[in-house]
Amino acid sequence: MTPVRRRAEKALPALAAVVASAVALGGLTAWTTAGAAGTPAELKVTHARVLQPFPGRESTAVVFSITNSGTADDRLTSVTSPAVTEAMISRDDDVGAGAARMRMVASATVPARGTLEMTPYGTDVMVELREPVTLGQRIPFVLRFEESGDIEAEAVVVRHSEWSYR
């Protein structure tokens, strides 16, 4: 075997790796350019409602409709407002016989190309209000998401029967 051929045979595995990497990089570039790689979460917060607390109570629920037009999930991790002393994401779990148990959760998923529809009977935000509120009052909130960061929203105070997001 000639020295040139020996050197070529030694370089062949390295050359194959370079060609395979170039093909893979080209494929990934085309996939991303075509939009098949997905888009980050694109969130919109609408239909924000604060349920008017029952007389003598400071705690109540806040519900939001959060739509994600992106192709990646995101997670609501916290909610704040100057009008509340505490806000916690909660979820009601069915325990049978028409009863439910509320539990606090660390986050709530906003699915890709989907909507997180909060309700007082499912996922919501439990808050302790600093001061009494009145029907129609608008209260500012900041919703913090794992990937999308902070999004500001304004919720209106409504009667319990008017919480619907539609």
Give the model confidence (pLDDT) of 93-147 as tens digits: 877 777 778 889 999 999 999 999 999 989 999 999 999 999 999 999 999 999 9
Range 138-158 average pLDDT: 98
Region for residue 26 given its phi and psi (left: phi exceeds 0; alpha: psi -120 to 50; beta: otherwise) = alpha
**Chain centroid to CA 42:** 9
Euclidean distance between CA atoms 142 and 123, whole angstroms? 17
- pLDDT for position 97: 77
Euclidean distance between CA atoms 125 and 64, whole angstroms? 9
Comparing 14 with 104, the larger pLDDT belongs to 104
Quote the pTM value. 0.75
Across 107-130, b (16+ Cβ under 10 Å) vs e yields ebebebeeebbbebebbbbbbebe
The total number of residues shown for the chain amounts to 166
- pLDDT for position 12: 62
- pLDDT for position 32: 52
Q: How confident is the model at residue 6 (pLDDT cuts 50, 70, 90)?
A: low
Euclidean distance between CA atoms 93 and 87, whole angstroms? 19
Position 159 pLDDT exceeds 90: yes
Q: Which residues have C-beta within 8 Å of that of residue 92, sequence separation ≥ 6?
A: 100, 101, 102, 121, 122
Give the model confidence (pLDDT) of 37-82 as tens digits: 578 999 999 999 999 999 989 999 999 999 999 999 999 999 999 9
Position 35 pLDDT exceeds 60: no
Euclidean distance between CA atoms 122 and 100, whole angstroms? 9
- pLDDT for position 2: 72
Half-sphere exposure of 7 (CA within 13 A, CB side): 3
- pLDDT for position 10: 65
